[in-house]
Structure 1
Amino acid sequence: MRSTFKLLYFVKRNAVKKNGNAPIIARITIDQVVAQFNTKLEINPAHWSVKLGKASGRTAEAVHINSMPESIHSTVPQQD
């Protein structure tokens, strides 16, 4: 039996803080079992690409934010 694994990042737009930023949430799905956790990262929702699941642009903030989920993704064990 083959198992499924997905890792998705999204901005929790309904939890925008006073500074205008919203938290970035990670969702892991394994065989239709879902777990979510806060990545402790924040971004202005206008700078988030929903389609790509990462920050848009080449600003220092976008590069930093995009590098953090990639490091989280690399620490999750991958199954062949």
Structure 2
Amino acid sequence: MRSTFKTVFYVNGSKERNGIVPIMGRVTINGTIAQFSCKQSVTKAIWDAKGNRAKGRSKEAKEVNFALDNIKAQIAKHYQRLSDREAFVTAEMVRNAYQGIGTEYETLLRAFDKENAAFAQRVGKDRAV
């Protein structure tokens, strides 16, 4: 199944403080949207809204663009990993994987231990050994 995947960055102009604005990210997959904070901020004057990057060659612009490229690469890596493992991937799943929030997969031994413990509690009630 073909899916659309896009990552864009924008500044949150409503939270401007002394000419500095926080950079936000948005992941879109098949029309589902998930937004997150990039934990970066930039001077509003050097932000290029069309290019989704800081413009210029100043030290600040280079640092911000490097951080944004790194974030974009990490998000793409998480998307690829999730799409290899899951049948259906949403933008929220990718955002949660990037932020370290998510489901933890059980090992086979841990799953058997849980099942055996549940079975042991039911012995004598509705199960026999």
Note the C-alpha offset of 1:8.
0.3
Give aligned pairs, total. 78
TM-score by length of 2: 0.57
User: For residues 65 and 21 of structure 1, what CA distance do their matches in structure 2 show?
Assistant: 13
1:20-48 Cα shifts (integer Å, max 9, x gaps): 20000000001111000000111111110
| Separation (CA, whole Å) in 1 of partners of 2:3 and 2:62 | 32
Cα deviation code 1:32-69 (max 9, x no counterpart): 11000000111111110011110011000000000001
CA RMSD of the aligned region, Å? 1.1
3-state SS of 1:7 partner: strand
Give secondary structure in 2 for the equivalent of 1:3: coil
Secondary structure at the residue paired with 2:57?
coil
Q: Work out which of the two has the higher radius of gyration on C-alpha atoms and give 1 or 2.
A: 2
Q: Following TM superposition, where does structure 1 have runs of at least 4 consecutive aligned residues deviating by more than 3 angstroms?
A: none
- The share of aligned pairs that are identical, in percent, is 37
Pairing of 1:47-66 with structure 2 (within 5 A): 47-66=46-65
Alignment correspondent of 1:25: 24
SS of the aligned residue for 1:51 comes to: coil
Q: Give TM-score, length-normalised by structure 1.
A: 0.90
Q: Which has the higher helix share?
A: 2
